[in-house]
């Protein structure tokens, strides 16, 4: 997935156009990589989940919100994303699939201020 996306970025850059955002399938693959990141790829993986998933309510955002919500609720562990960063990522999704989790976290003493 990483090799293919890097090739896509390079191809689009050669045409002076930005890379397309990640698809739902790519985000699902990214989630698996985030759970067990390859050595030296952590920064790139975080950039992808932070900046290359479209905000809002498309399928890729749904996959991201599900994963990041699970981290925020303590249901899933990720070596690169702690609960506070998960809440920040949800907060930057501009509505949609993130709202339910953010509202529920308002009752969490540790994360309410971030939510």
- Mention every residue, 6+ apart, whose C-beta is less than 8 A from residue 13: 19
Say if CB 71 and CB 98 are below 8 A apart: no
Which of 90, 35, 91, 50 has the alpha carbon at shortest distance from 68?
90
Q: How far apart are CA 27 and CA 112, in angstroms?
A: 27
The pLDDT of residue 115 is 60
Sequence-ordered list of residues with C-beta below 8 angstroms from that of 17, at least 6 positions apart, any chain? none
pLDDT band at 81 (very low <50, low <70, confident <90, very high): very high
Mean pLDDT of the chain: 91
pLDDT confidence bin for 110, thresholds 50/70/90: confident
What architecture is domain 24-105?
A: Alpha Horseshoe (1.25)
Question: For the chain, what are the domain ranges?
Answer: 24-105
pLDDT one-digit tens code per residue, 25-65: 999 999 999 999 999 999 999 999 999 998 888 999 999 99
For the entire predicted model, the pTM comes to 0.88
């Amino acid at each position: 997935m990483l090799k293919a996306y890097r090739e896509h970025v390079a191809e689009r850059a050669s045409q002076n156009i930005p890379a397309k955002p990640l698809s739902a399938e790519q985000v699902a693959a990214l989630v698996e990589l985030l759970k067990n990141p390859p050595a030296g790829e952590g920064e790139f993986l975080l950039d992808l989940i932070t900046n290359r998933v479209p905000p809002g309510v498309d399928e890729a955002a749904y996959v991201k919100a599900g994963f990041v919500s699970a981290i925020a609720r303590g249901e899933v562990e990720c070596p690169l994303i702690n609960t506070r960063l998960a809440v920040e990522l949800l907060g930057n999704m501009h509505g949609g699939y993130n709202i339910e989790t953010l509202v529920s976290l308002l009752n969490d003493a540790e994360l309410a201020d971030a939510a």
